[in-house]
Structure 1
Amino acid sequence: MPPSPENTLLAASRLLDRELELLEVFTAGQHALTLLAADGDSEVVVRAFPSGDDAVARELAALERIASLGPMVPHLVAASAGAAEPLIITTRVAGSTPDPRADLFAVARQMAAALFAIHGLDGTGLPLAPMTAPSGETTIGHRAQQAFGRLDLRDRVLSHGDFWIGNALWVRDETTKASQLTGVVDWSGAKHAPRGFDLAWCRQDLVLLGSPSAAESFLAEYEARLGAPISDINDWDVQAAASAADRVETWLPNYHGIGLTDMTAELLRSRLEEWNASL
């Protein structure tokens, strides 16, 4: 388990050699403890991982690659990648968790634009995404095994690795009430992977949010920017579905953490099963 907020703040203060003030404990995500802290007149984000986790080392490699995205991504302030107290401090990216009332079609188009920009970066040297057929005896697992040989594994890009609405930050326009994407965070899972990996993962998230149509809009926007169709997207969707098959209910705290408190484990399961049947 990650350390407590109090111990994390102390460790971050020691790392910077100045006292930080705790402003907020972020609730989205389960892997790391994430704090917003004040560092003088500026704000920083502090993320602490369980002892022995190598997430800091992985994120450091990714942050160097994505710096050209500017204010859309966090930038390194300080880090401790030691096994006993893995900790990373970055600049704060503007925005917050998505508005639960946000138009999912607008969300999908903006996420497609952001992902296209990310995929335009060089991922060479980042960890290679594991590219083996999924195991398991579920029906969707067998389908994924059969579809694996049809995937295009050669067209590798810089992949975020966990590209879903909760790893994007948003602001709400007070005049139009529209949600605007301001950034993408949590880069510890970044990889050098085929572009279909992120595409299918985000499409599945939009389905779990309740809108298979938004998933199609997301794909259409990405393909329009790419100038070419993703011919194997159905096979990638099947891979993502197989990965979620035995654990989708465990993602419920993530959705509650971004304010979707009406979401239930049963609803996640039923939406995933309906999506699987359509693939």
Structure 2
Amino acid sequence: MTNHDEASAVRPLTLAWVRRHLEAGERIVGIEALHGGITAEMRRLTIGTRDGGTRDLVLRSFVDPFSVERAEDWLGREAGALTLLAGTGVPAPALVAVDPSAAQCEYPSLLMTHLAGRTVLDDEGVETRVPLLARQLVAIHALRPAEQPRDYVALTTADTVVVPKGADAAAWAAAIDVIRRPAPPGEGRFLHRDFQPGNVLFDVPPPGPAGARITGVVDWAAASWGPADLDVAHCSTNLALLHGPAWGQRFAEAYEEAGGVLAATASERLYWRVRDGLACSEEVRSVAQPWREAGRAELTTRAVEQRLDAYVTSLMDAWG
């Protein structure tokens, strides 16, 4: 078995657990660290099959203390979501095994199939990808699970918002006042809760972005039940930070063009959009780092703070 680097190594108990869930005659022939995740260690495992071929699995392990404390809930949700999504047409991994309480592994872990494709975070081709993202999210929200997942959780409060240095103070004060209000009522939908370009895989064949198609949606650990605006707002924020505020605004339009239904009033839409933008203020550094690792070196923490300020200000200018 070959490792591409020392960081690829899988801990002994976890490795033994993985082997117990392989088919008869299969063995692990390669391990590669996958980069870009914020909360978990990710490994691609190349499996040698009995017929001489190979297949790939993905191992997801929560190792930092914050994530370990929440892993049983997160991995339980992810396992439930992957089970639900099997056969729905939503391109999600298939669940192989899960150890949410680390009963058999060193850390809470989940094993799933590997999907083809890659994340695409470049500015080039964003005008093609945004409608694809919107259509995919509409398809996710159209699912009606027999067993409804837990209700969404939104942790950000008016007191936890971190106003970026040099931000438009008046716009941020007005935005913070928006989320002091009670959350608007809304029809429940099956939510991904972290639907954004970093969790969507694309195939982009030559000659360029025009032929792009979605091959997978990953990271279902926060799957929940709640208003569609939550997922739309989250993807809008990420697009605004990756590509500029106009793309955050454009995504909501694309979602409705694809048949999605958002909150009825402008004030309700503003609430969800602002809430997600302000939530991002608390974790700009952790959001920006994987983007830089993926090749967007210009997206320093400061640059992302400035884009977040521009996005929040644009929301308040448009609807506040």
- Which bracket does the TM-score occupy, shorter chain normalised? 0.7 to 0.9
1:271 partner amino acid: R
Query: Does 1:70 pair with 2:70?
Result: no
Structure 1 position 92 matched with structure 2 position 125: no
Name 1:6's counterpart in structure 2.
10
What code does the residue aligned with 2:9 have? P
Q: State how far apart, in whole Å, the 1-side matches of 2:8 and 2:174 are.
A: 41
Work out whether residues 108 and 215 of structure 1, in 8 Å CA contact, stay in contact via their aligned partners in 2. Answer: no
Return 192-201 or 17-26, whichever deviates more: 17-26
Change (3 A) 1:131 1:205: closer
Q: Tell me the distance in 2 between the aligned counterparts of 1:32 and 1:228.
A: 32
1:167 to 199, 208, 212: 199
Query: 1:278 and 2:314 equivalent?
Result: yes
- For residues 16 and 148 of structure 1, the distance between their equivalents in structure 2, rounded to whole angstroms, comes to 50
Q: What is the rounded CA distance, in whole Å, between the counterparts of 1:141 and 1:127 in structure 2?
A: 32
Q: Is the 8 A contact 2:151 2:224 kept in 1?
A: yes
Summarize the Cα distance change of 1:259–1:69 in structure 2 as closer, same or farther, 3 Å threshold: farther
Matched-pair contact (CA < 8 Å) for 1:118–1:159: yes
Conserved? CA contact 2:128–2:209, under 8 Å: no
Pick from 133, 141, 159 the counterpart of residue 136 of structure 1: 159
1:121 aligns with 2:134: no
Structure 1 residue 30 displacement after superposition: 1.9
What is the aligned partner in structure 1 of residue 78 from structure 2? 59
Q: Matched residues in 1 for 2:58 and 2:150: separation?
A: 24
Correspondences of 1:13-28 after superposition (within 5 Å): 13-16=19-22, 19-28=27-36
- Count of equivalent residues: 277
Structure 1: distance between partners of 2:10 and 2:155:
41
Greater Cα offset, 98-107 or 242-251? 98-107
Worse-superposed segment, 199-208 or 153-162: 153-162
Q: Is the 8 A contact 2:241 2:304 kept in 1?
A: yes
Aligned: 1:47 with 2:70 = no
Distance 1:79 1:227 in 2: 33
- Residue deviations 1:9-36, cap 9 Å, x none? 4542244375323342110112111111
Q: Which residue of 2 aligns with 1:152?
A: 184
Aligned to 2:4: none
In the aligned structure 1, how far is the partner of 2:111 from the partner of 2:203? Answer: 22
**Residues 163, 201 of structure 1: 8 Å contact kept:** yes
| One of 4, 29, 44 as aligned partner of 1:36 | 44
Equivalent in the alignment of 1:185: 218
Q: Report deviation, 1:197.
A: 0.7
Q: Deviations over 1:116-139 (max 9, x none)?
A: 000111255312112577241656
CA distance in 2, matches of 1:240, 1:226: 22
TM-score (norm 1): 0.88
Instruction: Tell me how far apart the structure 2 counterparts of residues 170 and 227 of structure 1 sit (CA, whole Å).
Output: 21
Query: How far does the alpha carbon of each residue in 1:32-82 deviate from its partner, in whole angstroms, 9 at most, with x for none?
Result: 111111222221111112345212212111112222333611111122222
Q: Distance in 2 between matches of 1:118 and 1:30?
A: 23
> 1-side partners of 2:261 and 2:28: how far apart?
48
Q: 2:101 aligns with which of 82, 89, 92?
A: 82
CA contact (8 A) 1:16 1:78 kept: no
Is the 8 Å Cα contact of residues 126 and 192 (structure 1) preserved in structure 2?
yes
Distance 2:29 2:301 in 1: 36
CA distance 1:210–1:101, change in 2 (3 Å) = closer
Contact 2:92–2:218 (CA under 8 A) maintained in structure 1 = yes
- SS at 2:150 equivalent: coil
Aligned partner of 2:290 among 236, 248, 254: 254
State the Cα distance separating 1:163 from its structure 2 match.
1.1
Q: Is 1:199 aligned with 2:232?
A: yes
List gaps (5 residues or longer) in structure 1.
none
Q: Percent identity?
A: 25
**Structure 2: tracts of 5 or more residues without a match:** 1-6, 162-168, 316-320
Displacement of 1:239 after TM fit? Answer: 0.4
CA distance in 2, matches of 1:133, 1:172: 36
